[in-house]
A and B are shown apart, each in its own frame.
Chain A
Amino acid sequence: MVEKSIHEINRRIKDGSVNVVTAEEMVGIVAELGAEGAAKEVDVVTTGTFGAMCSSGVWVNLGHSEPPIKMQNVWFNDVEAYTGLAAVDAYIGVTQLSETRGMEYGGAHVIEDLLRGKSVDVHATAYGTDCYPRKQLDTTITLDDINQAVMMNPRNGYQKYNVATNSSNRTLHTYMGALLPDFGNATYSAAGVLSPMSNDPNYETIGTGTRIFLGGAQGYITGEGTQHDPGNGFGTIMVQGDLKKMSPDYVRAATLRGYGTSLYLGIGVPIPIINEKVAQATAVSDADISTAILDYAVASRARPKLGQVTYEELKSGTIDINGKEVPTSSMSSFKVARKIAGELKDWIKRGEFFVNMPVDRLPLDSSVKPMLQTQETPLVGDIMSDDVVTIKQDASVHEAAKKILESAFNHLPVVSNTNSIVGIVTAWDISKAVAEDRYDLVEDIMTKKTITAVPGESIDVAAYRLDQNKISAMPVVDKDNQVVGIITSDDISKLLARRC
């Protein structure tokens, strides 16, 4: 049984005799020497990850102005920061968007600009008090001008992450990137073999107080991250580090089109090999880490699971989804993850970075709850009109015109002889046909690509779809594509009006 103390390992770091390898190199070492042999041989295993970490941000303290202000609201380059604290403290969150530039510039960009030494415009407003009389402030600052800039991220370094794909017939723009229609691609994140928490899944050495590589500087794990879910292999960490010491190589603003901004952040965690059990855990390979493929076409927190894949399969470039070969994209950079594990290894070898045991272990038994919702959102089935009038595809335009006049709807779902939906025709389509003297069948003038809703979906999702497609009504269909109702933007507006 090999047992090594942290003091012993740190002594080797100090005298330069330490043996450090990356988690990728460790796979082969354990395969060759076994866990016991590897534990004797290796003192520290370094890990690394570099990807979008949305739950990130920086606390800044601007120093007091003259006359002083207690900022009630503050903006950095038009990006609002949180100021519900003392006078000149603020938290710049990476996903907060610019009020003037929208998704192309956000909190992450402010942070990267500060780190690159660029000037940032500050605008603050306040209500004024006896101790802080000032009500407005405008200034321009750089990172050197402010007292503290401490990165403090509530949730980083996911142990692993779901694979995202899309069964629908339109491109989805998500935080996992563009997902092409009909399983056109699949995207994944996290570093697999190099993922920090996957290399210590029992959190034997990773915990509160662990010194880490954060954004190119030394930082710390301050505890479990939010939504820490060890039971499902979705552990997370909360981290802290000094932005002033970081490097823009590892702190990079990003825009995920249609989603917003985020921060690509580099994290490396050293794993001191204190015994053979810890050594064995660091032998984890891409083939050992598996994750679920989820269908992001379903806009629900319970997205359907389409299968399970390993990081080895994901990294091969294609995965199998329902018999289809689907190309994969990594949203995180394995190349930079490797660079981080390598850089941390060099720091330790050069005696610039010492390892430590956590002051508290991360929980192994916590789980994640969904939100408690005390106000249930209505479903499409609750507010749709079920006295919907449909028309057969082989009916004449004249019949369609009559039906629209007789019913209260401007939209007629068009159905086949078996009553399945095949299209939709509007009062406008009919006017157009009449104006052009085209007295064809309904199927010749209808819109064939019909956007539909289902009774069981939330009206928020239906309203979003109406909005996205710039339409005012959708037929509601059951699982056999039979029309069971119609929902209009009027129905939804009336409901929202009642809510207010």
Chain B
Amino acid sequence: MKIKINVATDIVVKPIIAEVIIETGTLLNISQAHIDSTKGEITADVPEDHFSKFKDALTSRGAEVSVLDKPILRDEDECVECGACVSVCPVKVFTFGEDWSVNLDEGKCIQCGTCIDMCPHGALTLEQ
């Protein structure tokens, strides 16, 4: 499942992710990481059966963990279903249906943001 880990200023220098991975033996698959001196924000996939112990271990070290139910959001009023997003997505979130609707498999999204720049109608946003 897709999660977001937020790390505050005071602990951003500590290797807490590595500690938790070793401690829980979780196969964490990091897809996005933005870390600077003020904060860290990590998007990753974690096996469902590992989620609760992984979350507990991280929160006990001061990080915040939230589940991303819909990593990518589409404004249905703005979307014209052109399909501009289809070819730029590295993980094939967008596909054409038989009636040329643009289907969205949000579970695959790694929040890279490429489609957001591509969409001519500003219909896509990332869940924060």
List residues of A whose CB falls within 8 A of some B CB. Answer: 50-52, 104, 173, 177-178, 180, 184-187, 252, 254-257, 262, 264, 317, 327-336, 338
A186 nearest in chain B by CB position: B87
Alpha-carbon distance between A265 and B90 when the two chains are bound, in angstroms:
29
Q: Which residues of B contact A51 (CB under 8 A)?
A: 82
A residues near B118, Cβ cutoff 8 Å: 177-178, 257, 329
Please state if A178 and B100 are interface contacts (CB–CB under 8 Å): no
By beta carbon, the residue of chain B nearest A259 is: B120
- Chain B 65-92 per-residue mask, 1 if CB under 8 angstroms from chain A, else 0: 0000000000000001111111110000
Cβ–Cβ < 8 Å partners of B85 in chain A: 329
Interface string of B92-128 (1 = CB under 8 A from A): 0000100111100000000000100110111000000
Which A residues are in CB contact (< 8 Å) with B83? Answer: 329-330, 333-334
- Say yes or no: B117 contacts A178, CB within 8 Å: yes
CA distance A378 to B49 in the complex (A): 66
Please measure, in the bound complex, the distance between the C-alpha atom of A187 and the C-alpha atom of B84, giving whole angstroms: 8
**Which residues of B sit under 8 angstroms from A332, Cβ to Cβ?**
82
Closest chain B CB from A206 CB (angstroms): 24
Chain B residues with Cβ below 8 Å from A327 are 86-87
Which of A177, A328, A336 sits near B120, CB closer than 8 Å? A177
Q: Give Cα A335–Cα B101 distance, bound, in whole angstroms.
A: 6
A329/B122 in contact, CB under 8 A = no
- A330 with B84: CB separation less than 8 A: yes
Residues from chain B with a CB closer than 8 A to the CB of A178 are 88, 114, 117-118
- The answer on a CB contact under 8 Å between B88 and A335 is no
Expressed in whole angstroms, the Cα–Cα distance for A185 and B85 within the complex equals 11
| 28 chain-A/chain-B pairs, Cβ below 8 angstroms | A50-B80, A177-B84, A178-B114, A180-B87, A185-B87, A186-B87, A187-B84, A254-B121, A262-B120, A264-B80, A264-B82, A317-B86, A317-B96, A327-B86, A328-B86, A328-B87, A329-B84, A329-B85, A329-B86, A329-B87, A330-B82, A330-B83, A331-B82, A331-B84, A331-B120, A333-B81, A333-B83, A335-B81
Shortest CB distance A94–B (Å)? 12
Given contacts A264-B80, A330-B82, contact A335 B87 (CB under 8 A): no
A180 to B115, CA, bound (A): 12
Within 8 Å CB of B80, what residues of A?
Answer: 50, 252, 264, 333, 336
Assembled-state Cα–Cα distance A338/B118 (Å): 23
Residues of B participating in the A interface, judged by any CB pair closer than 8 Å: 80-88, 96, 99-102, 114, 117-118, 120-122
Partner of B88, one of A185, A254, A264, A334: A185
- Determine if A255 and B122 form an interchain contact, defined as CB atoms under 8 angstroms apart: yes
Residues of A within 8 A of B86 (CB): 317, 327-330
Give the CA-CA distance A327 to B87 in the complex, in Å: 5
Interface centre among A50, A257, A262 (most CB of B within 10 A): A257
Q: Which residues of the other chain, B, contact A173 by a CB distance below 8 angstroms?
A: 117
Bound complex: CA of A32 vs CA of B28, how far in Å? 57
Cβ contacts under 8 Å, B81 to chain A: 333, 335-336
- Bound Cα distance from A327 to B89, whole angstroms: 10
Contact B99 A335 (CB under 8 A): yes
A262 CB contacts on chain B under 8 angstroms: 120
For the complex formed, measure the closest distance between the CB of B86 and the CB atoms of chain A, giving whole angstroms: 5
Contact of A329 with B99 at beta-carbon distance under 8 Å, contacts A178-B117, A254-B120, A262-B120 already known: no
A178 → chain B closest CB, angstroms: 5
Of residues A173, A180, A333, which shows the largest number of chain B Cβ atoms within 10 Å of its Cβ?
Answer: A333
Q: A278 CA to B41 CA in the complex, in Å?
A: 61
Q: With the chains together, A256 CA to B118 CA distance in Å?
A: 7
Residues of B within 8 A of A187 (CB): 84, 87
| Bound CA span A173–B114, Å | 12
Once the chains are docked, how many angstroms separate the CA of A257 from the CA of B119? 8
Interchain CA distance A400-B100 in the complex, whole Å: 60
Give every chain A residue within 8 A of B120 (Cβ-Cβ): 52, 177, 254-256, 262, 264, 331
Most-contacted residue by chain A among B83, B87, B99 (CB, 10 A):
B87
A-B CB proximity, top 9 nearest: A329-B87, A185-B87, A254-B120, A327-B87, A335-B100, A333-B82, A330-B83, A334-B100, A335-B81
Tell me which residues across on chain B come within 8 A of A317, comparing CB atoms. Answer: 86, 96
Alpha-carbon gap, A252 to B84, bound state (A): 15
6 additional A-B pairs beyond A180-B88, A329-B85, beta carbons within 8 Å, are A51-B82, A264-B80, A330-B83, A333-B81, A335-B102, A336-B82
* A residues less than 8 Å from B100 (CB atoms): 333-335, 338
When chains A and B are docked, how far (Å) is the Cα of A51 from the Cα of B83? 11
* Bound Cα distance A51, B102 (Å): 15
Q: What are the residues of chain B within 8 A of A255 when measuring CB–CB?
A: 120, 122
For the complex, what is the distance from the CA of A318 to the CA of B118, rounded to whole Å?
Answer: 18
Chain A residue at minimum C-beta to C-beta distance from B86:
A329
CB distance from A95 to the nearest CB of B (A): 13
CB distance from B101 to the nearest CB of A (A): 6
Query: How far, in whole Å, are A317 and B87 apart by their CA atoms in the complex?
Result: 8
* Chain A residue nearest to B122 in the complex (CB): A255
Query: Which of A257, A329, A335, A338 meets B117, CB within 8 Å?
Result: A257
Kindly list chain B residues whose C-beta atoms are within 8 Å of the C-beta of A256. 120
Report the bound CA distance from A55 to B80 in whole Å: 20
**Bound CA–CA A173/B100 (angstroms):** 25
Cβ contact within 8 Å between B88 and A329: yes
For A328, what are the chain B residues with a Cβ–Cβ distance below 8 Å? 86-87
Pick from B80, B114, B120 the residue with the most CB of A within 10 Å: B120
